[in-house]
Amino acid sequence: MLLALAIAALVLVPVVVTFSSFARVEGDILAHLIEFALPELVGNTLWLILGVGLGVSVLGVSLAWLTAMCEFPGRRLFDWALLLPLALPAYVTAFVAIGLLDFTGPLQTWLREGWGITGLPEIRSRGGVILVMSLALYPYVYLIAKNAFATQGAIALEAAQSLGLSRTQGFFRVALPMARPWIAAGLMLALMETLADFGTMAIFNYDTFTTAIYKAWYSLFSLAAAAQLASILILFVLVAVVFEQRSRAQMRYSAVGRSAAQRRIRLSPTLAALAFLYAGVVLAIAFLIPLTQLALWTREVIADDLDTRYWAFAWHSVLLAGIGALMVVTVALLLAYAGRKRPGPAMMWTQRLATLGYAFPGAVLAVGLFIPVAALDNWLIDTGRAWFGFDGTEILKGTLAVMLLAYLVRFLAVGFGPIDSGLHRITRNVDEAARNLGTGAAGLLTRIHLPMLRASLLTAATFAFVDIMKEMPITLMTRPFGWDTLAVRVFEMTSEGEWERAALPSLAIVIAGIIPIILLTWHGTRSHN
Amino acid sequence: MAELVLDSVSQSYGNRQIIADLSFTLPEGAIGCLLGPSGCGKTTALRCISGFEPIQHGEIRIDGETVSRSSWMLPAEKRRVGMVFQDYALFPHLTVAGNVGFGLRGKSIAEKQARIDELLKLVGLSAHAGQYPHQLSGGQQQRVALARALAPRPSLILMDEPFSNLDVELRERLSIEVRDILKREATTALIVTHDQHEAFSLADWVGVMHQGRIQQWDTPYNLYHEPANRFVADFVGQGALVTGEVINDHQVEIELGVLSGHIPVECDASGCDECVRSCHVDVLLRPDDIVHDDDSLLLAEVENKAFRGAEFLYTLKLPSGQRALSLVPSHHNHAIGERIGIKLAVDHVVAFRRE
């Protein structure tokens, strides 16, 4: 219990730290913030939430309904392929979109020179950001809504039809409202990612809190301003968290069993063609075209860029993701075990708190964890100087400590989910059976739990590994000198507008990102059988 | 292979008494059974014996050695008590042979293999040694669980609702099989169930439990024919109570005639302490105590009937309006409302004081 509380406390540190930054106000910076930056930041953020929320809901729900409930050519393929955009970090989709659609990009050039068409809407706009984010994040809604429809859609429709409603009425009046908690949960996850996103916003030059925090950190060198901005962002995030948790509670109450014989709706040839076209276009612009473009760009630059420096970036990415994943899995395992040892409402709340870090934007965590570590560092240095004649300027600051700690907080939930559910599958009777057969605590762990948890541990590690590899703001803001990763390289190249040279590191990240999607769909089909 | 003794064992969660003053002795090599409705404390009793629950009062002894007493218990893994769980709790990552061999330690590989082979043969699963639990049927999993528990030659085997996850036909067959296996291994075993058919077909000794107490610890035959109290009479088997008047301490008169038995009649507390003439009691009539006889002058009206295949279970309305049950061979098919001839065929008089 104490251990679980300690882990939960780690999550609270950034919150407390960022909010306490208001205690020491740097007058002119704060005044500047309030007068010029804040109104724009809040406005931009609200537009983003509105637009992306609408975008992911429409895309996610409609595609989920088509693949879960209807029959049309290619449905089996789309069923899992529509998850693939998850492998593309939004910032990759973003720079590919700009590279393709910008005034100097191939599409506009071709239209202009070949057909004399000009005046296409500017991609670097609010609409462009919303479009890119929606395409990158709709799988969150799609995945969870698909599960909801697959488990209760057929029953809902049949019940509605038996009461005299048409299919369309049945969808809007029964199936959709029934799936609302699921859709809302997926939507909130997508919005949390939107609020947390840094890379896309930086590429589009669209000012939101994450980019403002970064600027305060690097351009103004004002920790306090960064922390104050972070605390406002946390407020937005907490609203999303509350909605998400409420939806999850409703999911538990309204969960129904799998519908027995799932009969899909046979679409008429015209509708089937339209469905195919729709799903195909979404898949193409959200995944296939960006991936192809990445590959093409990579081919252009690979001869020059695939050098020792590139391998150093890749090595740093793999090393950090590896250490981070190991930490996440270890702590998640401890937390899950604590829950098994002392179950109860107090433990449940502690676990929930401890895994809340997924909601906090990386930029917030970077600030919220750097400040206390720096303070600790100063204290250590002062003490060291007074007692041992130590003369350095940093002990922890120059190390990976802050970065790894931030990874841990942000991605603990990713590892905790599979491990906890894996541990729940080992019933108490299994433990007792082993003890009856003369096995002590150590034997229980090595002979029963670890072998039974192997798949869950592997899943947890993979998810955490890939998420850390994709992660941008924490790495960017807290990496020690000389620790550039693939994601950092992508940021540097895109901030100079060199899309082609950002392609090579992006491609490596995307390829790594496909692994968990394969795991996800494999697991999905396995649990169906 | 050891005697199991429970000596006034009590256990409670907070204020709630789960088992109270539980005492019984299960002789070496015998199969015992705790029978009772859900929530009667039988599973808790089992967990106390296996060493997963502490006890507050009393003592549990296995083979003469105390394993639990108030505020002390020998850890489960040191008790040499095997357990078969309701959900079997097989280890999904190990094969059938791996599961059975799990508890065998401090033995050479050859010895282990020999014991695994022996047990798989005993439970008839030699051909499945290399399979994983999820590839087996429910009945096969059940037998793997039994073999796994038997493998280390425990002094005692405990089984918690061993057949509740199986369908009805399989239950009957398996319970005979399990009895056979346990007897061949000469293991002392205690089984918990809410199903009296299971208890009767498996056990040498049955304890009927209610509200944390053992109501009667006896052979199945005696439980049915000589229930110690109303609860046991009601829980075990079917029957009806009719009013009777005491003639002397071994005879009672009911409206169908005079019954004689060898157990003392339990008398009314109000007005007559001793069983003397004209005390009123409730007499238990089992469905097999009333026999259909077309020639009999005693008539009763068929109020309800349930077809059981080989026989009908008739609910009869006696002349006084009291109800009784009768088991009648199924070629005597009478309509509801018909009056049929009956006669008494009672071996054991069971009478309870009136409440």
- Chain B residues whose CB is inside 8 A of the A440 CB are 77
What pairing do the DSSP bridges indicate for beta strands B156-160 and B189-193?
A: parallel
Give the number of C-alpha atoms closer than 13 A to the C-alpha of residue B179, restricted to the C-beta side: 18
> Is ipTM strictly over 0.90?
no
pLDDT in the model for residue A281: 93
- Residues with Cβ within 8 Å of A91's Cβ and at least 6 positions away in sequence, in order, are A197, A198, A199, A200, A202, A203, A472, A490, A491, A494
CATH topology of domain A2-252+291-528: MetI-like fold (1.10.3720)
Query: Is it the case that residue B320 has pLDDT exceeding 60?
Result: yes
- Copy the structure tokens of residue B169: 């036909």
Helix A223-254 to helix A2-20 angle (10° resolution) is: 130
Cβ <8 Å between B76 and A432: yes
What pairing do the DSSP bridges indicate for beta strands B280-285 and B240-248?
A: antiparallel
Tell me the per-residue pLDDT of A49-87, one tens digit each, with 9 for 90 and over: 999 999 999 999 999 988 888 888 888 889 888 888 888
Among the partner residues B83, B93, B105, nearest to A436 by beta-carbon distance: B83
Whether B339 has its CB under 8 Å from any CB of chain A: the answer is no
Query: Is it the case that residue A253 has pLDDT exceeding 70?
Result: no
Query: Is it the case that residue A106 has pLDDT exceeding 80?
Result: no
Between CA A164 and CA A436 the distance in angstroms is 58
Q: What DSSP string runs through B3-46?
A: -EEEEEEEEEETTEEEEEEEEEEE-TT-EEEEE--TTSSHHHHH
Tell me the per-residue pLDDT of A121-140, one tens digit each, with 9 for 90 and over: 777 788 888 999 999 999 88
Cβ <8 Å between B103 and A438: yes
Cβ <8 Å between A439 and B91: no
Whether A423 has its CB under 8 Å from any CB of chain B: the answer is no
Between CA A390 and CA B135 the distance in angstroms is 66
Among the partner residues B87, B105, B148, nearest to A429 by beta-carbon distance: B87
Whether B134 has its CB under 8 Å from any CB of chain A: the answer is no
- Copy the structure tokens of residue B141: 């999993």
Between CA A45 and CA A438 the distance in angstroms is 60
* Helix segments in B151-210, DSSP class H: 168-185, 196-202
3-state secondary structure of A112: helix
Burial environment of residue B139 by CB neighbours within 10 A (0 to 12, 13 to 18, 19 or more): middle
- Chain B residues whose CB is inside 8 A of the A451 CB are 93
- Sheet strand arrangement including B351-353: B257-260, B251-254, B240-248, B280-285, B351-353
pLDDT in the model for residue B179: 92
- Nearest CA to A333 out of A7, A10, A2 is that of A7
- Chain B residues whose CB is inside 8 A of the A423 CB are none
Rounded to a whole number, what is the distance in Å from the CA of A431 to chain B's nearest CA? 8
Please count the other Cβ atoms lying within 10 Å of the Cβ belonging to residue A2: 7
Specify the pTM.
0.77
DSSP-assigned letter for residue A171: I
> Which residue in chain A has the smallest CA separation from B79?
A436
Cβ <8 Å between A427 and B103: no
Whether B322 has its CB under 8 Å from any CB of chain A: the answer is no
Interface probe for A, chosen from B50, B62, B67, B91 (most Cβ of A below 10 Å), is B91
Tell me the per-residue pLDDT of B291-307, one tens digit each, with 9 for 90 and over: 888 888 888 999 999 98
Task: List, as own/partner pairs, every contact residues A213-222 make where C-beta atoms lie below 8 angstroms and the sequence separation is at least 24, other chains included.
Answer: A213/A363, A213/A364, A213/A366, A213/A367, A214/A363, A214/A473, A214/A476, A214/A477, A217/A366, A217/A367, A217/A477, A220/A29, A222/A26, A222/A29
- Sorting pLDDT into bands at 50, 70 and 90, what band is A396? low
Please provide residue A120's backbone torsions phi and psi, each rounded to the nearest 5 degrees.
-65, 145
Whether B20 has its CB under 8 Å from any CB of chain A: the answer is no
Whether A433 has its CB under 8 Å from any CB of chain B: the answer is yes
Interface probe for A, chosen from B74, B93, B107, B156 (most Cβ of A below 10 Å), is B93
CB B99 within 8 A of CB B149: no
Whether B102 has its CB under 8 Å from any CB of chain A: the answer is yes
Tell me the per-residue pLDDT of A423-482, one tens digit each, with 9 for 90 and over: 888 888 888 888 888 888 888 888 888 888 888 888 888 888 888 888 888 888 888 877
Whether A434 has its CB under 8 Å from any CB of chain B: the answer is yes
Among the partner residues B76, B91, B154, nearest to A435 by beta-carbon distance: B76
pLDDT in the model for residue A28: 66
Tell me the per-residue pLDDT of A283-307, one tens digit each, with 9 for 90 and over: 998 889 898 888 888 888 777 777 7
Rounded to a whole number, what is the distance in Å from the CA of A76 to chain B's nearest CA? 28
Please count the other Cβ atoms lying within 10 Å of the Cβ belonging to residue A403: 26
Among the partner residues B76, B86, B92, nearest to A436 by beta-carbon distance: B76
Cβ <8 Å between B86 and A429: yes
Q: What DSSP string runs through A425-476?
A: HS-HHHHHHHHHTT--HHHIIIIIIHHHHHHHHHHHHHHHHHHHHH--HHHH
CA distances from B33 to A146, B143, B147, B250 (A): 49, 19, 19, 31
- Sorting pLDDT into bands at 50, 70 and 90, what band is A184? confident
Q: Where are the domains of chain A?
A: 2-252+291-528
